[in-house]
């Protein structure tokens, strides 16, 4: 496991502050989505509390709008980092007409965002890994310099589609990053029920590509590793597998009761490694952040989400006939 | 007798059969903690992790290893977490399980059950709402059952487990806690194959299966108050199909409405309509009608849109009135 | 004009479209050496290995990477080597390609063609003979075409490649070298959707698609000599389905026979019969009949058994005589 | 790649002679099946010329009738070694009523043989790997000492089912041997189109199990390696992947023209490594075999196959109604 001793280079403090802010916004938004479900105001919630360093750290390594992004349902932090407004994410939560990601059709957090090259995904685990490989093949064929990143959990690596996608990407040395957020559980199943290896990154060896395990709760390490890997991809050195070890603090989804399969002690232990606390402490120690500035960031995030919730909840539902649109292209 | 929900009926069947057959096991994702719908709640403690098996997140192999287990003396009952996630296992179901006996000229059998929660109406959105029976009931070599009551759910699951061939057992998620019934204590089975006349009436015939059969029955009761007397046929099993019951029910009233939750075109309703159009032709007094979800790619998350698309008691009652008036 | 076989028509369409569109590519197993049926013969030399791409032996990813390519500006035309090996790709076809546009509210499109050789009659045995159209034509969001002549094969493949949505292109293996036709030089397309009346007659109507449409036409010619005059409707496209043409053809004669090679129960014939039974009811003079392969799990290797099971010109003619006499 | 220097231990010469005989019989039978197709007497042929050392060598490591065997279409040598009569294999070739493996329903060489625990397979590549894992799980659950072996080509390792099966077996440490006959081609596609690694055995590393590459043209090495691996399986040490590097001398099937994708020089080179010649020379050198005895073995094989062909070709076809049998159990 790589834990880089990242010294803050001059000129990077704004960047790190921005990352920190997005991690906080992502956490506040995620907490709120869960709460809205618990209050009976949202039918379903799936969120990524605990994954913020992995998500925001990796997303900050991307060239937004140029690189292709295939997030999974837990990637609130990726979307926030890419610049999706909480309001838009909340329109999806409430399945409203204006939901730019699916028009209220998909479960929350199944994003599509063409402007940012965020590609639509289903709920079918691992099915989008071959899409990432295909997108990267097209980039190469058409001679474009962009890189594709696809996100998934460690459970997803059990699916045949994981294998076929990584194998295809390796054969053609495609510019694609397979980014695994390993939180140790697939719903209730702990990692050893999914694989007989300690590190998801070891899967890479069967394909002849490099795998790299990083501390997924350390945003700066994630950023640096992902940057390096993307750089290698861009230089045509082929696909890579990154495993970011982390933990989810919330139940799998609003339908799950994680007390059936995780001890509170384990959760407690990981809470002490909270990725947001960790980056905050680092920034405070380095003098990039002050307690006051931190308070302002948190208050602003709360305010932003409050306003977004209020507006999104009031947005109109789609009209009935909307259900028939876009089965096929309408101009065809 | 005891009052049981649909899902309790399923759990009781699993536990009773596990008690009977030491070679039986249940397997699937999150099975040990009870399954996402809690069908296997408490089974880990009772039967241990070898017989209550958490599988990797990999549907093709869930069915594939089950086939192997069945071949080597076990009785696997696999769970696919949602019907929407059954497609990765289609090759194992269709190319393998369904053709296992036929292609080996009875050399090998595949006594296996695959339980699959299906259906909409729970705000499950596009990938937690689908119906997949039309594809599977089309495959010779698979038995496909879709019980609509707790009584049938328990009895047919037991029959499925004791069946020497692969049985796809489709259980409606919305039925799990909605449907309750007094069930007899102890062992009973409900045979795979025969449809069940759930109501007899001379004005029109409604044919359905799964949770929609329940909705049809409700609609029929509603219409009885208006003086329209309906026969309601609950197919219960789609493969092998009870053609005689279909033809007899259609003949009786000369007017048939078929209802299913799956989308219309190419749905299993087409098969039922075709059987009626061929074998009850002389007795038909009206066009054979179908009511189904319109042809859109699965249910939207938005609740209003889901209600708009999904067949319901009200829509069924309307279609029945319409047909009765023909 | 030039005399072309069915497979030459396909190859010509591929090559002409590759010439037109520099972002188009063909991919699949053994594509570079020409494909096991030689559909892509000579294309490697002409377009190079990046655009004539040999994939690993992995159908799910063949479709999966095609979806990705289509998303990023390419026009992939994938080949699955046999319809029998399409099941491993069903999840990608159904959960992904078919719902790509709908679930992204038109944010993303998936302009992709999947060519799939299907069908029996070539002694291909259980796993090189299957028909899979019923399952795919049931899926909203997929277009499914099954041309029955070299002319349509070329024109519809071009239309499919230019279509903004995923098109499943089913080509009958036995048609490849058996069917020949004079084709116009140069570019033309045949639209996806409209059925084609291949023969008009007032006694009975036969409805079919794919290679069976050809067999039906032959049978109809045979019966014309006996004084039975048949309408033959070749659907060509199963999804979106030309319902009006079906209803009109059935109405014209009041007697309809539906023929397909896929097995009977749950086959696409059910849908066609259901449409007729609902929308042509008042004009029907006879039961709606279906002729299809019996419900066994795919074709035996033994040639006599295959011939016994498979619908043929003779069996179609018999069924037509029977219906005409009703 | 392991090439064991196998000294002939005393008491093993009968065994090696028997292996040699089965390799010869397998070759003669395979050649004949191809010839029958070329003569228009058989609709289809798929055979394993060149794979005899891998097939017979590994099959001789099994406890026939106790261990479970999942062969693939190329495994004529495995079946011959297990004791299936050429006559029975030929009934399948001709799709005759008496074909014990499928009643004339399956393509030739898609065997099922319950008495020998040879399990039915489809033509769908890799689909039977999960079956092998499931069979082995049952062996373990029911406390039986048997081992399962499943055969496949290197192309099969590209399929998702390969991944899911090996992963499942590794997680449960099941007694199953994944035996890859790597002949360098999947129909026309050479190995580098299927994977970015040199050795299929390297795939094992992604699952936390051992992989072993052996010279698949050396029957004695294959025997020894497979024995060792099976012994480990029996002792509960979990699954293994064996890669036997070999070459097929015939086209992929009777429908294939291998001149489109392989040079005659390459074929020539491999012909010099013929596994049958190799074992013959070894046995001659060790004095276990004499030229005369060799001649007798070959003549006997020819005679046996001649007679079997004649009898099988005359056997009756199934009656039409037979097509409807055994869709489901008939006693049910
Ligand atoms: C093909 C498929 N099977 C099952 C599911 C149900 N399911 C949803 S999430 C999940 C667990 C995923 O675990 P992992 O990949 O580790 O991601 P995490 O949720 O832990 O971030 C499962 C089994 C699904 N969505 N798709
Ligand atoms: C799922 C599937 N896809 C494609 C095919 C067609 N096919 C038959 S054999 C074969 C190549 C197999 O290569 P390999 O696994 O290396 O075995 P070999 O034939 O070389 O021994 C292919 C592509 C098939 N039978 N099944
Ligand atoms: Mg996880
Ligand atoms: Mg090979």
Chain D neighbours, 3+ Cβ pairs < 8 A: A, B, C
Q: Could you report the per-residue pLDDT of C108-122, keeping only the tens digit for each? A: 999 999 999 999 999
What is the rounded CA–CA span in Å between residue A61 and residue A81? Answer: 10
Q: How far is the CA of C58 from the centre of ligand 2 (A)?
A: 10
State the closest ligand 1 atom to the C-alpha of A183, by its place in the atom list counted from 1. 20
Give the list of residues 6+ apart from residue A55 with CB closer than 8 angstroms, or none: A26, A48, A74, A75, A76, A77, A78, A81, A151, A181
Residues with Cβ within 8 Å of residue C307, at least 6 apart in sequence = none
Ligand 4 midpoint to CA D161 (Å): 17
Whether B301 sits inside 8 A of A324 (CB atoms) is no
pLDDT band with cut points at 50, 70 and 90 for residue D331? confident
Q: Would you call B305 and A194 a contact, using CB atoms and an 8 Å cutoff? A: no
Is pLDDT above 80 for C210?
yes
Chain D: closest CA distance from residue A170 (Å): 6
Per-residue confidence band for A331, with pLDDT thresholds at 50, 70 and 90: confident
Structural domains in chain B plus CATH codes: 2-183 (3.40.50.970), 196-324 (3.40.50.920)
In the reported structure, the alpha carbon of residue D126 is separated from the centroid of ligand 2 by a whole-number distance in angstroms of: 9
Is pLDDT above 60 for D297?
yes
CB contact under 8 A, A130 and C76: no
Q: For chain B, give the secondary structure using H, E and C.
A: CEEEEHHHHHHHHHHHHHHHCCCEEEEECCCCCCCCCCCCCCHHHHHHHHHEEECCCCHHHHHHHHHHHHHCCCEEEEECCCHHHCHHHHHHHHHHHHHHHHHCCCCCCCCCEEEEEECCCCCCCCCCCCCCHHHHHCCCCCEEECCCCHHHHHHHHHHHHHCCCCEEEEEECCHHHHCEEEECCCCCCCCCCCCEEEECCCCEEEEECCHHHHHHHHHHHHHHHCCCCEEEEECCEEECCCHHHHHHHHHHHCCEEEEEEEECCCCHHHHHHHHHHHHCHHHCCCCCEEEEECCCCCCCCCHHHHHHHCCCHHHHHHHHHHHHCC
Say yes or no to pLDDT of C198 above 70: yes
Alpha-carbon distance C54 to nearest alpha carbon in chain D (angstroms)? 7
Q: Averaged over B254-267, what is the pLDDT? A: 98
Q: Which domain holds residue D246?
A: 13-319
Partner residue facing D160 (CB), from A160, A204, A205: A160
Q: CB–CB of D105 and C305 under 8 A?
A: yes
Is residue A66's pLDDT more than 70?
A: yes
Ligand 2 atom nearest to D186, measured from its CA: 13
pLDDT band at A278 (very low <50, low <70, confident <90, very high): very high
Residue A10 confidence class, pLDDT cut points 50, 70, 90 = low
Residue A15 confidence (pLDDT) above 90: yes
Residue D9 has pLDDT above 70, yes or no: no
Question: Does any domain span residue D332?
Answer: no
Chain B residues closer than 8 Å to C277 by CB: 273-274, 276-277, 284, 287-288
CATH number of residue D25's parent domain? 3.40.50.970
CB nearest A164 (choices: D158, D193, D208): D158
Distance from C-alpha of A104 to C-alpha of A108, rounded to nearest angstrom: 8
- Domain-embedded: residue A324: no
**Average pLDDT of the segment spanning C289-293:** 98
Average per-residue pLDDT for chain A = 96
A252 is catalytic: yes
Reported as a pLDDT band with limits 50, 70 and 90, residue D172 is very high
Supply the pTM of this predicted model. Answer: 0.98
Would A315 be classed as within a structural domain? yes
3-state SS assignment for residue C293: strand
Selecting among A21, A248, A278, A280, the annotated active-site residue is A248
Is the CB of residue D18 below 6 angstroms from any atom belonging to ligand 2? no
User: If you average pLDDT over every residue of chain D, what do you get?
Assistant: 96
| For helices A160-171 and C59-71, angle between their N-to-C axes, nearest 10 degrees | 60
Q: Is residue D328 part of a domain?
A: no
Give me the number of domains chain D comprises. Answer: 1
| Residues forming beta bridges with residue C259, ordered by sequence position | C291
| Residue D326 is assigned to a structural domain of this protein | no
Residue D129 contacts A where some CB pair is shorter than 8 Å: no
What is the model's pLDDT at position A281? 97
Residue D3 has pLDDT above 90, yes or no: no
Set of chain A residues whose Cβ sits within 8 Å of the Cβ of C68: 119, 130-138
Q: What is the pLDDT of residues D186-244, one digit of tens each?
A: 999 999 999 999 999 999 999 999 999 999 999 999 999 999 999 999 999 999 999 99
| Dihedral of alpha carbons B182, B183, B184, B190, sign | positive
Neighbors of chain B by Cβ distance (3+ pairs < 8 Å): A, C, D
Q: Is the pLDDT of residue B101 over 80?
A: yes
> Would the CB of D50 count as within 6 Å of ligand 2?
no
Q: Which two tokens stand for residue D38?
A: 């070329």
What pLDDT does A9 receive? 63
Residues of D that are catalytic: 248, 252, 261
Q: Nearest by CB to D205, from A164, A171, A202: name it.
A: A202
The catalytic residue among A25, A252, A278, A280 is A252
D75 lines ligand 2 (CB under 6 A): no
Asked whether residue B251 carries a pLDDT value surpassing 90, the answer given is yes
Alpha carbons within 13 angstroms on the beta-carbon side of residue A142 total: 23
What pLDDT, on the 0 to 100 scale, is given for residue A12? 80
Instruction: Give the model's pLDDT for residue D1.
Output: 52
Q: Provide, rounded to the nearest whole percent, the portion of chain B with pLDDT above 90.
A: 99
| ipTM for the whole predicted complex goes beyond 0.90 | yes
Measure C17 CA to nearest chain B CA, in Å.
30
CB contact under 8 A, C108 and A112: yes
pLDDT of residue A189: 98
């Amino acid at each position: 496991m790589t834990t880089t001793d990242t010294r803050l280079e001059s000129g990077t403090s704004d960047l790190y502050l921005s990352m920190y802010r997005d991690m906080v916004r992502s956490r506040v938004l995620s907490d709120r989505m869960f709460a809205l479900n618990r209050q009976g105001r949202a039918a379903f919630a799936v969120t990524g509390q605990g994954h913020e360093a992995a998500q925001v750290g990796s997303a900050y390594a991307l060239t937004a709008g140029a690189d292709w992004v295939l997030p999974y349902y837990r990637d609130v932090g990726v979307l926030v980092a890419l610049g999706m407004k909480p309001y838009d994410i909340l329109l999806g939560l409430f399945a409203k007409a204006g939901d730019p990601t699916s028009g209220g059709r998909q479960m929350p957090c199944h994003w599509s965002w063409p402007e940012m090259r965020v590609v639509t995904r289903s709920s079918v685990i691992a099915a989008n890994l071959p899409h990432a490989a295909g997108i990267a093949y097209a980039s190469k064929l058409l001679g474009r310099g962009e890189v594709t990143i696809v996100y998934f959990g460690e459970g997803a690596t059990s699916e045949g589609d994981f294998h076929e996608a990584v194998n295809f990407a390796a054969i053609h040395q495609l510019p694609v990053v397979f980014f695994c957020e390993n939180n140790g559980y697939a719903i209730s199943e702990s990692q050893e029920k999914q694989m007989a290896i300690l590190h998801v990154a070891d899967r890479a060896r069967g394909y002849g590509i490099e795998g790299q395990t990083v501390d997924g709760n350390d945003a700066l390490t994630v950023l640096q590793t992902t940057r390096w890997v993307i750089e290698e991809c861009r230089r045509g050195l082929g696909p890579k597998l990154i495993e970011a070890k982390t933990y989810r603090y919330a139940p799998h989804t609003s339908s799950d009761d994680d007390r059936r399969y995780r001890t509170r002690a384990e959760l407690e232990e990981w809470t002490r490694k909270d990725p947001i606390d960790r980056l905050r402490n680092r920034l405070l120690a380095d003098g990039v952040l002050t307690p006051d500035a931190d308070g302002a960031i948190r208050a602003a995030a709360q305010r932003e989400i409050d306003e977004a919730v209020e507006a999104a909840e009031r947005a109109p539902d789609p009209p009935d006939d909307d259900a028939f649109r876009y089965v096929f292209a309408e101009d065809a | 007798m005891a009052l049981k929900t649909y899902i309790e009926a399923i759990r009781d069947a699993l536990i009773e059969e596990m008690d009977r057959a030491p070679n039986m096991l249940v397997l699937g994702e999150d099975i040990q903690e009870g399954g996402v719908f809690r069908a296997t709640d408490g089974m880990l403690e009772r039967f241990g992790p070898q017989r209550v098996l958490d599988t990797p997140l990999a549907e093709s192999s869930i069915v594939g290893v089950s086939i192997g287990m069945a071949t080597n003396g076990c009785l696997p009952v696999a769970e696919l977490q949602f019907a929407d996630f059954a497609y990765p296992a289609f090759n194992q179901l269709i190319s393998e399980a369904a053709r296992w006996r036929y292609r080996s000229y009875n050399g090998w059998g595949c006594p296996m059950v695959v339980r699959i929660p299906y259906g909409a109406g729970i705000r499950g959105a596009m990938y937690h709402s689908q119906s997949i029976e039309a594809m599977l009931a089309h495959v010779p070599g698979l038995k496909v059952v879709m019980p609509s009551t707790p009584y049938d759910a328990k009895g047919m699951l037991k029959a499925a487990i004791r069946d020497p061939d692969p049985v796809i057992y489709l259980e409606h998620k919305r039925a799990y806690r909605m449907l309750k019934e007094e069930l007899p204590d102890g062992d009973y089975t409900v045979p795979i194959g025969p449809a069940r006349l759930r109501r007899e009436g001379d004005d029109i015939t409604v044919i359905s299966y799964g949770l929609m059969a329940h909705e049809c029955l409700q609609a029929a009761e509603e219409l009885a108050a208006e003086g329209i007397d309906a026969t309601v046929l609950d197919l219960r099993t789609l493969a092998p199909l009870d053609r005689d019951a279909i033809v007899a029910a259609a003949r009786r009233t000369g007017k048939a409405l078929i209802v299913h939750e799956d989308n219309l075109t190419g749905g299993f309703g087409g098969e039922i309509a075709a059987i009626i159009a061929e074998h009850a032709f002389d007795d038909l007094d009206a066009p054979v009608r179908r009511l189904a979800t319109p042809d859109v790619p699965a249910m939207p998350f938005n609740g209003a849109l889901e209600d708009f698309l999904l067949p319901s008691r009200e829509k069924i009652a309307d279609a029945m009135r319409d047909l009765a008036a023909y």
